[in-house]
Amino acid sequence: GDTFMVDRYIHGRELTCAVMGDVALGVCEIIPTGHSFYDYDSKYVAGGSKHECPAKVSPNIYQKIQTLALKAHQAVGCRGVSRSDFRYDDRHSENGEVVW
């Protein structure tokens, strides 16, 4: 009961990439509707978010997300399907910062 985790807020866009086998699939952006960030309601309430596939990011960032998702999939020994979520902060440059 009384255990909880607190982490700093990471500004940015919510990106996700699935991997099937050893192939990284398309990168999608999850955009909360009516919320400033992707929270419980954005995720679980109907109409709380929309998915933009493919994500509107530079080709370099798109490929970086796919590469990181595939590396994570392989690092934990996945053999089927996995999905990795990322935060992408492009406020200061087109290349921005990718956090997962």
Q: What pLDDT does residue 61 have?
A: 93
| 27 to 1, 7, 34, 72: CA distances (angstroms) | 36, 25, 23, 15
Residue 13 makes CB contacts below 8 A (sequence gap 6+) with 29, 31, 55, 87, 88, 89, 90
Domain map (residue ranges) of the chain = 13-93
Contact 87, 65 (CB under 8 A): no
Q: What pLDDT does residue 55 have?
A: 97
Q: What pLDDT does residue 58 have?
A: 92
| Mean pLDDT (10-residue bins), the chain, 100 residues | 84 93 96 82 86 95 96 95 92 70
Q: Which CATH class is domain 13-93?
A: alpha beta
Q: What pLDDT does residue 78 have?
A: 95
Q: What pLDDT does residue 93 have?
A: 66
Q: What is the DSSP letter of 100?
A: -
